[in-house]
Structure 1
Amino acid sequence: MTQDHPLNHDEMLAVLDWYRAAGVDIAVGEEPVDRFAQRAPARAVPAMVANVAAGTAVAERATEAPLLGGDPAEARSLAASAQTLDQLQALLDAYDGCGLKLRATQLVFADGNPEADIMLIGEAPGAEEDRQGKPFVGKSGQLLDRMLAAIGLDRTKVYIANTVPWRPPGNRTPTPEEMALCLPFLQRQVELVSPRIVMTLGGPAMQTIFDTTTGIIKMRGKWATLSIGSHQVEAIPTLHPAYLLRNAPAKEQAWADMLSLRMKLDALGLR
């Protein structure tokens, strides 16, 4: 067994980086602390309003509110006020209602072509996405690029977003509360892009968009006509590229889904 020894500077940084990746954000002190008895610090929640004429998002200070726990009604109101994707991104960047923002490095809004006929929706940003501010840029994103290329597509022909735009600590699955706070912004994003086709990537994204508790294995590859916000669209779920990296045999199923997407594009006269 290795004996304990003082860590040098590089080792301490490596440990802290490991803790951060695992979602650790509170250090344990010498004395126990009853955090249930503590009052949440107050903050002023910005009541954000889209200034359509100026094309910007203006944040105005409002009433005091608890630090944790946003209001879905506020999220819906803010999302509905955005008239462009730039406005929506600015509103999200200023929005403090979702606790995921507190631990994320930055907002991960979207990538690709906002005028594309195809929109891909994943679950949440990972570590590399959190660093770069773009969805699907890590190993799973590289696999996604190869999957798209196999049917004649690339990022100039698709628009990519996630169900939540901030990385959950330790890459955990977003909670239902976090999903509920972010969903109005995603729905407005879909309305503003107005894609002809939506492909969801992975179980959580599929369950959110298709509003179901059915597992991804049963749902993948099946087309449905969905209403996302006020936008009606043809949608198909497939497996997440990160899952395919861990389960190579499942690539056969994902390939069948990509071929189905290609056939749908051809049937609709899209390229």
Structure 2
Amino acid sequence: MSTDFQQAREALGTRLRELRLSRPGGRLTGDQLARQLGWHKSKVSKLENGKQTATAEDLQAWAQATGQPGAFDELRARLAGFESHIRSWRRQLAAGHRAVQDAHNEAQTNARVLRAWESSWVVGILQTPDYARAVLTRSAERHQSPRDIEDAVRSRMQRQQLLYGAGRRYHIIMWEGVLHALICSPAVLAAQLDRLTGIIGMDTVELGIVPFGASLKQPPGVGFWIYDDRQVVTETWHAELWVDDADSIATYLRVWKAMRDSAVYGADAHNVINAARRTLGTHR
């Protein structure tokens, strides 16, 4: 979790404490407030100390319980400010997966130089429909979110039109493990690998593969995108991070360049993909 995010969450907690202590009818203790709201008493402490992220509903209840309902707009604005950088999957996927895909479509449409590192699965911009369907289904299972899978797949496929337009350049690097990960059926993965071999040689895409035997300057770590060296998008199991501070972007750029130094391209990348494709014959 970023330092900026944590500082913003702690600042929100300080403001919540101020509201509790300045209640017009007299200050409330944390235990009193928890009982009034029907919360576990530890929740008040966690919110005030920046150990838990409040929901908009939490903030509205807090403002009402402390006799200062007019403070809700301020609290909600504070929450929106740092949630623009840390977007929890629970909230993003409350209405399904299509909206998340549309947000990524917009971000990539507005960028001209896009760099990606991925160690877990084929990046969305290069996925086949069946592979995308498998990945999004796994995500819906993991987050227990609405299953608008077909709408989400169509949105992800729409993004791929960006590959064929002038003025945009994709620099994509993937870990060889991506080529072997059976997060879908062997037949679907085989078709996906065939798709990757067809990408090599496109003038808008530079596709690199980091082989298992490559010397690494960095551990594989998590995947991420860098848009025009001004914004990074990465994800964890619980949230998606949209990072725009210069120091963090510089860190991700160093990692990406380290992975580029370990990657193979062109015919060598083609050979690594084809070798993975041949191993699928051993899976039934």
TM range, smaller chain: under 0.3
Structure with max Cα Rg: 2
Task: Give the TM-score normalised by structure 2.
Answer: 0.27
Higher helix content, 1 or 2: 2
Task: Give the TM-score normalised by structure 1.
Answer: 0.28
Higher strand content, 1 or 2: 1
